[in-house]
Amino acid sequence: MAIQLRQQEDKMGKGQKHYLKNGKEFKGNTHKMPNGSLHTGLKHTKGSKIVVHFNELSKTSQKKARA
């Protein structure tokens, strides 16, 4: 079971790049919300923004991320 969870964590984002929804790569600290979404910052604040993996970006944002 622990191996399965670790493999799932690796697949879900450990070591993967994170992006803001506009396609800009985000390299800072993140935290996971109770619903599973990943946000900027170590703790949640009014300024926290959702970060996603490349495949979750819109086509327009993917083009920007590749540039």
Domain-embedded: residue 36: yes
Domain carrying residue 58: 16-66
The confidence band for 65, taking pLDDT boundaries of 50, 70 and 90, is very high
pLDDT tens-digit map of 2-57: 444 344 444 455 678 999 999 999 999 999 999 999 999 999 999 999 999 999 99
Q: Tokens 């919300």, residue?
A: 33
The C-alpha atoms of residue 8 and residue 30 are separated, in whole angstroms, by 18
On the question of pLDDT at 64 being above 60, the answer is yes
pTM listed for this prediction: 0.74
Q: Which token pair is 1? A: 């079971």
Domain-embedded: residue 5: no
Per-residue pLDDT, 15 = 79
Domain-embedded: residue 11: no
Domain-embedded: residue 32: yes
**Structural domains in the chain (count):** 1
Domain-embedded: residue 3: no
Q: Which distant-in-sequence residues (6+ apart) come within 8 Å of 31 by Cβ?
A: 38, 39, 41, 42, 43, 44, 48
Domain-embedded: residue 46: yes
